[in-house]
Amino acid sequence: MTDVPWLTILLAVPALGALALVLMPRGFAKAREFALGVSLVTLVLAVVAALQFSVGGGELQLVEEYSWIPQFGVTFALGIDGIALSMILLSVILVPICLIAAWDDVPADGTRRLQGYVAWMLLLEAMMIGVFAATDVFLFYVFFEAMLVPVYFLIGQYGGPDRARAATKFLLYSLLGGLIMLVAVIGLYTVGPGGTDGFLLSNLTGLEIGGVTEKLLFLGFFIAFAIKAPMFPVHTWLPHAATEARPATAVLLVGVLDKVGTFGMLRFCLQMFPEASQWATPVVIVLAVTSIIYGALLAIGQTDMMRLIAFTSISHFGFIVLGIFAMTTVSQTGSTLYMVNHGFTTAALFLIAGMLIARRGSRTIADYGGWQRVTPLIVGTLLISGLSALALPGLNAFVSEFLVIVGTFQRYPAAAIIGATGVILAALYILLWWQKIATGPKPEEIARTTRDMTTREKFVVAPLIAAFLFLGFYPKPVIDLLEPAVTTTLQHVGVTDPAPAVSAEGSEG
């Protein structure tokens, strides 16, 4: 515990930045620069905060607690473990990248529209930090729901032609899930110790609830997280939302926000309802494997590249959930690492797709062809990002996918084997997509007017590719960060790792 309230500061800086943008006069032309500055300050602060974090401890760190609504038992309680820290770092890294990527997305005429766009982005950043740092269930719920508002406006006001419907669909799905969780949140308070800090996660962990109540409470939380994650069969809002959103919005939506779902499963479902989690495991495993295969198959069939990326994410989230519910140290470490990797990979895919769309004016893959020779840099980085998405060894996603499959195999060999076919399907959807875009004759009429990656765009992709390589070759620091938290979670569930298959046969035989 430190004297400096790092997490509150991290939360407050982007929130105040957003407020300042709203209050500034209409003609404020430097809104983008201001927002980028705020997000960079947040990034620096997050790094400084991360340096206070001692790697290797599974307990919550940088803890803060202030009384908020004692009548409801609510505390403004923040604290992070390795998983939360990695998610917060992911958010604060991606937000400035997205702001740079979206530089020309909205008319740069200093209108309120531009100010609104960057203000919502900053507010969203604040909410994301809050949702990952909250250690009070009520506070978590507040961030979980309040987060919908900026995303709703980011999609609905600044998205594609069908944006209003997509935004509403997104909102209704999420709100319904959230409200179901609300009943569970209230129910949790009544079964918990109650009192003025009855919502503190630490007070609600290790309760002996048992029976139908625990299962119902678990379901209340799980349904909300499954919608958010998004998991088959409640994923249908995602392709629509991601397609209509601006690429930068889609990055934050799929790359970070959806992680709240899997993060919530780890932090809330597993930790507070261990028995119910084990009870639900078979069904969840089946759904996760279904997500992997289903998302991948649909990705292969897509003609719209934003939809394609959305479906790949459904497949990847299947892996993450599979690893979480296989409940081995290896699989969960893989899942949490996957959460980080997927954030970077999807960000790169969406942003590069956005660059292509900005040049060609179309999301349809069939409208491209031969772009390898028109924009070699863009297409090249697309290939690297694609290879990362299909988990090529040496790039980031490989490590995490490998860990998930190996860990799952220890307990559920069949699920691991079926899930592994998702890797093969990934090669199909990525390489087919790349092939349709990159190869073929050079499109003369477009080539003359199209320029390759601009300096600004290089700033967008460079950090992402650096992250691919770093996490691909040297994931150890991140794994060291995640593993203790995973171990703690598994202790809460009360599951131990299965013994290696060979010796298990020997001892049982």
Partner 1 sequence: MFQAPQIDYLAILPLIIVFGGGLIGCLLEGFLRREQRVSTQLWLSVATLVAALVALVWVARDNMGITAAGSVTIDGPTLMIQGLILSLSIIGLLAMSERLGGSTPDAFTQAGVSVPGSFEEREAVRLGGTTTEVYPLTLLAVGGMMLFPAANDLLLMFIALEILSLPLYVLSGLARRRRLLSQEASLKYFLLGAFSSAFFLFGAVLLYGYAGSMRLDVIADAIGTETGMDGLLIPGMLLLATGLLFKVGAVPFHNWTPDVYQGAPTPVTGFMAACTKVAAFGAMLRLFYVGLEAARLDWQPVLAVVAAASMIVGAVLTIVQTDLKRILAYSSIAHAGFILTGLVALEQVGASSTMFYLAAYGFMTIPAFALIALVRSAGSEATHISQWSGLGRRAPWLAAAFSFLLLAFAGIPLTSGFTGKFAVFAAAVANDYAWLAVIGVLASAVTAYIYFKVIVTFYFGDTSNDTVVVTPSALTTFAVVTGVLVTLGLGIVPAPVLDLAASAAQFLR
The smaller minimum CB distance to partner 1, of residues 148 and 253, is found at: 148
What's the min distance (Å) between Cβ of 272 and partner 1? 17
Which is closer to partner 1, CB of 192 or CB of 419? 192
Count CB-CB contacts under 10 A for residue 444. 9
What is the Cα–Cα distance from 492 to 21, expressed in whole angstroms?
Answer: 43
Q: How far apart are CA 373 and CA 362, in angstroms?
A: 19
Q: Which two three-digit tokens encode residue 12?
A: 């407050």
Residue 73 beta carbon to partner 1: minimum distance, rounded to whole angstroms: 9
Count of CB atoms situated within 10 Å of the CB of 237 = 20
Q: Which is nearer to partner 1, 119 or 490 (CB)?
A: 119
Of the two residues 69 and 501, which places its CB atom closer to partner 1 in the complex? 69
- The nearer residue to partner 1, 157 or 290, going by C-beta atoms, is 157
- In angstroms, give the least distance from the CB of 378 to partner 1: 31
> Cβ 327 to partner 1, closest distance in Å?
30
CB of 112 to partner 1, least distance (A): 6
Q: For residue 99, give both structure tokens.
A: 């702001």
User: Which residue, 152 or 237, is less far from partner 1 as judged by CB?
Assistant: 152
Q: Which residues contact 53 (CB under 8 A, 6 or more apart)?
A: 61, 62, 80, 82, 85
The kind and range of the H/E element at 62 are: strand 61-69
Compute the least distance from the CB of residue 211 to partner 1, in Å: 15
CB 158 within 8 A of CB 249: yes
CB-nearer residue toward partner 1: 245 or 299: 245
Name the minimum Å distance from CB 145 to partner 1. Answer: 5
Assign 65 to helix, strand or coil: strand
Q: Which is nearer to partner 1, 157 or 278 (CB)?
A: 157
Q: Measured from the CB of residue 77, what is the shortest distance to partner 1 in angstroms?
A: 15
CB of 184 to partner 1, least distance (A): 10
* Rounded Cα gap, residues 332 and 324, in angstroms: 5
Question: Could you give the CA distance from residue 46 to residue 42 in angstroms, rounded to a whole number?
Answer: 6
Smaller CB separation from partner 1, 68 or 344: 68
CA 243 to CA 247: how far, in whole Å?
8
CA torsion through residues 26, 28, 34, 38, sign:
negative
Helix 112-133 and helix 148-158: axis angle, to 10°?
A: 150
Residues near partner 1 (CB under 8 A) are 68-72, 112, 141-143, 145-146, 148-149, 152-153, 156-157, 163-164, 167-168, 171-172, 175-176, 179-180, 182-183, 186-187, 189-190
Residue with Cβ nearer partner 1 (167 or 298): 167
Helices (H), 229-328: 237-244, 247-250, 259-264, 271-272, 274-300, 305-326
Distance, first Cα to last Cα, the chain: 50
CB of 75 to partner 1, least distance (A): 12
How many Å is the Cα radius of gyration of the chain? 22
CB of 142 to partner 1, least distance (A): 4
Shortest approach of partner 1 to residue 229 CB, angstroms? Answer: 19
Is the Cβ of residue 148 or residue 391 nearer to partner 1 in the bound state? 148
Q: DSSP secondary structure string, 128-174? A: HHHHHHB-BHHHHHHHHHHTHHHHHHHHHHHS-TTHHHHHHHHHHHH
Neighbours of 70 (CB within 10 A): 12
Query: Is 187 or 370 the residue whose CB approaches partner 1 more closely?
Result: 187
Record the tokens describing residue 403, joined without a space: 């860990």
Please enumerate in sequence order all residues whose Cβ is within 8 A of that of 285, keeping only pairs 6 or more positions apart, or say none. Answer: 322, 325, 326, 412, 415
Residue holding tokens 């954030």? 343
